[in-house]
A and B are shown apart, each in its own frame.
Chain A
Amino acid sequence: MEPLEIVDRIKDKFFSEVVDVKEFRDQVSVSVKREKLLEICRYLHDDPDIHMDYLADLLGVDYPDNKFRFEVVYNLFSMKYEHRILIKALLPEDDPVVESVVSVWNGANWHEREACDMYGIVFNNHPDLRRILMPEDWEGYPLRKDYPLKGPEREYKGFEEVKELHTHDDEWMITD
């Protein structure tokens, strides 16, 4: 099926949800409101003519100047029909929450954790939403546009245990 036909199908079923449709180099992206995202995804996955069984990718994007600051892009592909479509959920800055799609595609699990880690987007009903790439006690969300590329200059203090070891260094020094 051509991507634009899929868009028509989505519009038939969820007309009030579709905000914007864009096409670039034969790839079509559909921006939707976040409220019914899970239903749309389940429909695309289950419908026998669309059959989006493969979640190729899931990512967050940050647009600080937009009304909806965050976007979550779902990159869907069908193994059977070999067609692709990008679904974008729009999230406001003060409440970046969207329903998790792990119940539809298991592969979304870690992608959603990464989007949470990097952008602070919260995925409702996610089985295990923790930081994934950054340390668990990290503060801030690194891929947001207002996050600095370089952190403040801090002196590396080192691990207490290692310092403890080094206090005995001089006992081992060989002196003539």
Chain B
Amino acid sequence: MADAENNSRIATKELTLNMGPQHPATHGVLRLVLDLDGEVITKCTPYVGYLHRGVEKLAENRSYMQILPLTDRLDYISAMSNNLGYCIAVEKLFGIKVPERTEYIRTIVGEMSRIANHLLWLATHALDIGAMTVFLYCFREREAILDLFERLCGARLTVTYPRIGGLKNDVDAKWLQDVYEFTNEFPMRVEQYETLINKNRIWLRRTKGIGVISAEEAINWGMSGPTLRGSGVPYDVRKIEKYGVYDKVKWEVCTGKNGDIYDRYRVRMDEFLQSNSIIRQCIDQIPEGPIMADAPKFTLPAKDKVLSDMEHLIHHFVLITKGPQTAPEGELYVSTEVPKGELGFHFVSDGEGKPYRMRVRSPSFVHVSALPKLCEGEMIADLIGNIGSIDIVLGECDR
């Protein structure tokens, strides 16, 4: 009784706390200004733009081929998916259809990139919340995928493997077999991660019922990907837009129910197995055939011809420096499902070799904008879990 009286006499006031831009748990250079009432966040204001490189402005001054390496640097955790998203968008703009073998290989590498991305997400998210061991286990498998990427195209992180109208090079049987062996083992690894955290009481207390967003609100905020599916909305661009071979393999859209941090975690854990299964089916079905589309006005000629033949060398040079001279005029939006959500490219083409306007609709940008909605009214300690659960990367957010 006496304590209560004493407490009521203590003067309280709100505290403004600055978090970031250099903070290990913000997954990049995100700065948050938090107004605190005790330990409860009353207002959260994100500041972004520390990694703004003007990709959209650059793209207006580069040919279509020259923009491709810029897309690696958007979401550098899953560069392969970004490359694919860009190539698919440009192909739709040009009206190119890629060969079937290419579609299969693209689906395989796209799903490998999804697994690598979710592994890094799980590692850092668990580390933020306090589970150190998961981090080391996840990086072991991620390393295996990056090694496979390195064998495929020579780069581990910024791969630039797809090309407009095809791929840089074909895959060999040995590589496919090694990917298959990886997928044999991987479901068992996912089980291992789950034994580490699924019954961990600290993990459950810190994720269940926290950062809740309802399905209507999540849609209204423009969320996408696993963050939206955690709220129970079965929205997956892979099912809606026709790209890759997602209509030829069996897989399900994973959804949660409650829209809290735990459900978003569950969705991504289930996606591990779905991606794994997609890769296996693709390797089983993959046909032989060419890898570049038959559209010489838009696609780069084969490298051996460029090195031995004058005409092809000139053609290659013109395509790279000036871009295709017969690009159609028009405006369109093409989206793909990258690991973090819906990545959209909006092109306005005026028929020149470079886009008149290229807009990157990045999932992280939208998700950071919804962060105040998730964390206002909750404890400051849960902010870290919330940031982890929306899976952002600031390179993509700031562009």
**Using a CB–CB distance below 8 Å, which chain A residues touch chain B?**
22, 24-25, 27, 29, 53-57, 59, 61-62, 73, 75, 79, 82, 84, 86, 105-110, 114, 118, 131-135, 142-143, 147, 149
Contacts and interface: CB of A to CB of B under 8 A. Distances in A.
B370 interface: yes
A73 B346 contact: yes
Interface stretch (B147-155, B291-299, B328-336): B328-336
Nearest to B53: A133
A69 to B, nearest CB: 13
Contacts of A147: 57
Given A105-B222, A132-B49, A143-B56, A56 B342 contact: yes
A97 to B, nearest CB: 21
Interface residues of B, number: 42
B54 interface: yes
A88 to B, nearest CB: 9
14 contacts: A29-B331, A53-B219, A54-B219, A57-B333, A61-B348, A73-B346, A79-B233, A109-B369, A114-B365, A131-B49, A134-B52, A135-B49, A142-B54, A149-B58
B24 to A, nearest CB: 23
B49 A56 contact: no
Contact of A22 (B92, B95, B219, B331): B331
Q: Which of B52, B219, B368 has the most CB of A within 10 A?
A: B219
Contacts of B95: 25
B373 interface: yes
B266 interface: no
A150 B332 CA distance: 28
A27 B366 CA distance: 23
Interface in B32-64: 48-49, 52, 54, 56-58, 61
B221 interface: yes
The binding surface of chain A is classed by DSSP as mixed
A133 B219 contact: no
Contacts of A55: 222
Interface on chain B toward A: helix, strand, loop, or mixed SS? mixed
B57 A107 contact: no
B221 A106 contact: yes
A25 B332 contact: yes
A57 B359 contact: yes
Given A57-B333, A106-B222, A134-B49, 9 more contacts: A27-B332, A56-B335, A59-B346, A62-B357, A106-B220, A106-B370, A132-B49, A135-B49, A147-B57
B61 to A, nearest CB: 6
B369 A107 contact: yes
Contacts of A118: 56
Given A56-B222, A79-B235, A82-B240, A132 B48 contact: yes
B260 interface: no
Contacts of B370: 106-107
A10 B333 CA distance: 21
B52 A27 contact: no
Contacts of A61: 348, 356-357
B211 interface: no
Contacts of B365: 110, 114
Contacts of A79: 219, 233, 235
A72 to B, nearest CB: 12
B344 interface: yes
A4 to B, nearest CB: 16
B207 to A, nearest CB: 24
B72 interface: no
Given A25-B92, A79-B235, A143-B56, A57 B361 contact: yes
B398 interface: yes
Contacts of A25: 92-93, 95, 330, 332
A56 B48 contact: no
Given A25-B95, A73-B346, A132-B49, A107 B333 contact: no
A59 B56 CA distance: 11
A56 B220 CA distance: 10
B59 to A, nearest CB: 10
A84 B373 CA distance: 26
Contacts of B219: 53-54, 79
B210 to A, nearest CB: 21
A86 B48 contact: no
B17 to A, nearest CB: 20
Contacts of A143: 56-57
Contacts of B235: 54, 79
Nearest to A109: B369
A135 B217 CA distance: 30
Interface string B177-213: 0000000000000000000000000000000000000
B221 A107 contact: yes
A150 B342 CA distance: 31
